[in-house]
Amino acid sequence: MSIDPDTQPISPSVERFWKRYIDVLKLFHIPERSRPWYRKHVQEFIDAHPGAKLRTQTPEAIEHWFAKQGLNPQLSAWQLRQKVDALRLLFRHMLKSGWASEFDWDHWAEGGQPLGDRHPTVARSYETTNAGADRPGNLLGNAFPKVYARFIAAIRVADLAINTEQSYLGWINRFLRFHKSSLPEDCAEQEVSSFLEHLAVRRKVSGATQAQALNALVFFYARVLEKPLGDIGTFKRPKPYKRIPTVLSRREVAQILARTQGMSGLMVRLMYGTGMRVMECARLRILDLDFDYRQITVRAGQGKKDRVVPMPDALAGHLKRHIAWVTDKHAEDLKAGFGAVYLPEALERKYPNAAKEFRWQYLFPATRIAPDPRSGVLRRHHIHQSVIQRAVRKTAVEVGLTKRVTSHTLRHSFATHLLESGSDIRTVQELLGHTDVTTTMIYTHVLGKGGGGVTSPLDRLE
């Protein structure tokens, strides 16, 4: 039975219901201007389930309703978050349904975040004719469009990663601002030297950051302006800083895994169990999983290298159930007129029908249909990596960890725990996708006892 607040007359029980709900909204400091919308979202859910009592609703019914909302391409990410929050406050804090405390509200609230036109997955697809030259803040593109066009051509011919392209462009723009929007070509070595010293002395950047800026400018002058830099002389360099990666103990990993559920929990377990980076995990497609050989293929990892990682036996059943869920979601998308997924580079032209094939679908899809940031095509992208990054940080705080924990910490912990278990360092190097074994060697710092395996003299006093 609908309890539409606009229906007259309103029964006393309905009035009490909405009063209790508004009290919950006040308790959680929902702004007064937003409360009518929260009430409207709850009413929409009630109207979608005529004759069903709220206290009898199941997690499956909630998920189905959220999934249906996600099929509306006109629904923005913040609107979906508000709908999720409205039902979360209703079922978890007002009705106190038993299942509501374990329901993955965060996944549905944050999983609809759009990728954005500069996201690494889509940044080089459907490029405009000016390749983003008119983007706000792009001083090189706005002031020197022809030079910017040569920069785009040079860096993409060199096949450098999109993150490197964006980083180099950022440093070139900072260099131009430092020289008041001019493009120094005469005595360029002195101008570069003064900029690098400014970074170290004024901006207090690290040595690695300064080196990245130098690499960007060396590339710019050699490959774009075709005026390679000579000796730039001496300039102030920050002292090198060698960082030791944060590693979680097995007990700490278990604490985090125990507090993460749903799709986020599956992704966190997969990252720790395989050593994948967060973007590698988010971009997995159905065809990347091989259950017979118990392995997962990581496509185009760092350095555009494919590699194979073991599929944890403990996750095989969970992954099969998750794929069944993705199958149903893909069928619903096709029925609604969607179902096409983004394909990298020229694959969409080579295989024009592949975009709607199930095997090409993302293993971890977003919670809503959204326009592609470049082409405007309505499709379901993979879940945004920030959803998992926030989930890991939030869980680490909730369990009381004082270490600086990020999603990448799971990768560090994977490598360290393998070495502790006796795995060969070359094997770990291959699983992580490191080009140089010295990169993998950083994980040996916690083997044995802390501090290099020595016993503190304090412990010898007795």
CATH number at residue 405: 1.10.443.10
How high does pLDDT run on average in the chain? 86
**Same domain flag for 219 and 253:** no
Which tens digits make up the pLDDT trace of 404-431? 999 999 999 999 999 988 888 999 999 9
Place of tokens 């983007």: 135
Contacts of 192 (CB under 8 A, 6+ apart): 175, 214, 217, 221, 229, 232
Which tens digits make up the pLDDT trace of 370-400? 887 767 788 899 999 999 999 999 999 999 9
What is the rounded average pLDDT of the residues 133-149? 82
- Confidence (pLDDT) at 159: 77
Distance CA 167, CA 273 (A): 31
In a domain, 16, yes or no: yes
**Same domain flag for 193 and 251:** no
Residue 297 in 3-state DSSP? strand
What is the CATH classification number for the domain harbouring 63?
1.10.150
Residue 89 has pLDDT above 60, yes or no: yes
- Confidence (pLDDT) at 189: 83
- Confidence (pLDDT) at 326: 95
In a domain, 190, yes or no: yes
Between 237 and 377, name the one with better pLDDT: 377
In a domain, 250, yes or no: yes
Distance CA 129, CA 246 (A): 44
What is the CATH classification number for the domain harbouring 145?
1.10.150.130
Could you tell me the pTM of the whole model?
Answer: 0.78
Contact 268, 388 (CB under 8 A): yes
**Same domain flag for 193 and 266:** no
Contact 116, 371 (CB under 8 A): no
How many domains is the chain partitioned into structurally? 3
Contact 191, 232 (CB under 8 A): no
Domain that holds residue 374: 245-446
**Same domain flag for 340 and 212:** no
In a domain, 121, yes or no: no
Cis peptide before 371 (omega within 30 of 0): no
Between 325 and 161, name the one with better pLDDT: 325
In a domain, 1, yes or no: no
DSSP class per residue in 316-328: HHHHHHHHHHHHH
In a domain, 126, yes or no: no
Residue 128 has pLDDT above 50, yes or no: no
145 pLDDT band, cuts 50/70/90, is: confident
Distance CA 281, CA 287 (A): 13
**Same domain flag for 419 and 313:** yes
**Same domain flag for 214 and 255:** no
In a domain, 116, yes or no: no
126 pLDDT band, cuts 50/70/90, is: very low
**Same domain flag for 194 and 319:** no
DSSP class per residue in 5-29: TTSSSPPHHHHHHHHHHHHHHHHTT
**Same domain flag for 195 and 272:** no
**Same domain flag for 196 and 259:** no
**Same domain flag for 343 and 376:** yes
Structure tokens of 336?
């609604």
Which tens digits make up the pLDDT trace of 331-346? 999 999 999 898 876 7
**Same domain flag for 283 and 213:** no
Q: Which of 57, 83, 103 is the last residue of a domain?
A: 103
In a domain, 194, yes or no: yes
- Confidence (pLDDT) at 8: 52
**Same domain flag for 271 and 215:** no
